[in-house]
Amino acid sequence: MEKTIRKISTISLVLTVTWLIFTIISMSQVLPSWTDFDYIIWASQPDIFYLVNYINVTLLTFMVIALFTVLFIHILEINKIMAFLGIVFIPIYGIMNIICYSIQINIVPLIAKKALNTSDGLLFVSQLIQANSNSIIGFINGLAYSILGITSFIYGYVLIKNFKKGSGLSLIINGILCIIGIIGYILKNEIISMGIILGGISFLVGLMFMVLDFRKKS
């Protein structure tokens, strides 16, 4: 099982690095002054960075589900209560995030372009753009990470107790930052909502530690 955790962590690590790089490149086009209409224009003309980013992060979501599933099996042998307490949040996170990201690949660009041509449904389309933090999908995306953060915190605690301190501490920090981030979304505070991005960086560090922490018993 530890060998499987290490393999999935390695794949997730590569996808997470790709996510960070392409998110920075893609989101560099987005300005703080943008209105909903600006986001619709942007989404209606997706470039290669936009498309690769959302394809990659959709795949990453599946890998995160797989990672926490194997962590569940691993932790089940250590603490059954904590294992089951953490895993219940993973399907919720998975469904929410897969929907948020996958529709950005093709569905959102298509309906955004159609809305611009007909001037119908512009408000509806704006609420489907994940990059728009003021949209419903943007909020659901942030909420998904805060839900994942609960599992990260629980499993991180167990891993620390099981002498996987690097992995465990990183997951705990990831959980705390993601929960703080969704509070920022609710309060519409851009600085606090950055907790989601910082949580992603902490998760990246956690994946690095998992590759190292789970190599000894492979």
**Sorting pLDDT into bands at 50, 70 and 90, what band is 17?**
very high
In a domain, 110, yes or no: yes
Task: Give the C-alpha separation, 160 to 170, whole Å.
Answer: 10
Task: Count up the domains in the chain and report the number.
Answer: 1
In a domain, 137, yes or no: yes
Assess whether pLDDT exceeds 50 at residue 218: no
In a domain, 82, yes or no: yes
pLDDT by residue (tens digit) across 171-215? 999 999 999 988 888 887 878 888 888 888 899 999 999 988 887
> What integer pLDDT is reported at residue 118 of this predicted model?
83
> What integer pLDDT is reported at residue 152 of this predicted model?
95
> What integer pLDDT is reported at residue 3 of this predicted model?
85
pLDDT by residue (tens digit) across 116-136? 888 778 889 999 999 998 899
Task: Give the C-alpha separation, 72 to 47, whole Å.
Answer: 38
The answer to whether residues 183 and 212 touch, using CB atoms and an 8 Å cutoff, is: no
Task: Give the C-alpha separation, 212 to 14, whole Å.
Answer: 15
- Nearest residue to 26 via CA among 13, 44, 42: 42
Mean of the per-residue pLDDT values for the chain? 90
- Nearest residue to 142 via CA among 106, 194, 201, 89: 194
The answer to whether residues 213 and 169 touch, using CB atoms and an 8 Å cutoff, is: no
In a domain, 122, yes or no: yes
Structure tokens at 93: 């996170």
**Mean pLDDT confidence for 21-30:** 89
In a domain, 218, yes or no: no
**Above pLDDT 90, what percent of the chain?**
64
> What integer pLDDT is reported at residue 216 of this predicted model?
59
**Mean pLDDT confidence for 134-149:** 92
In a domain, 135, yes or no: yes
Q: Domain range for residue 91?
A: 2-213
> What integer pLDDT is reported at residue 58 of this predicted model?
96
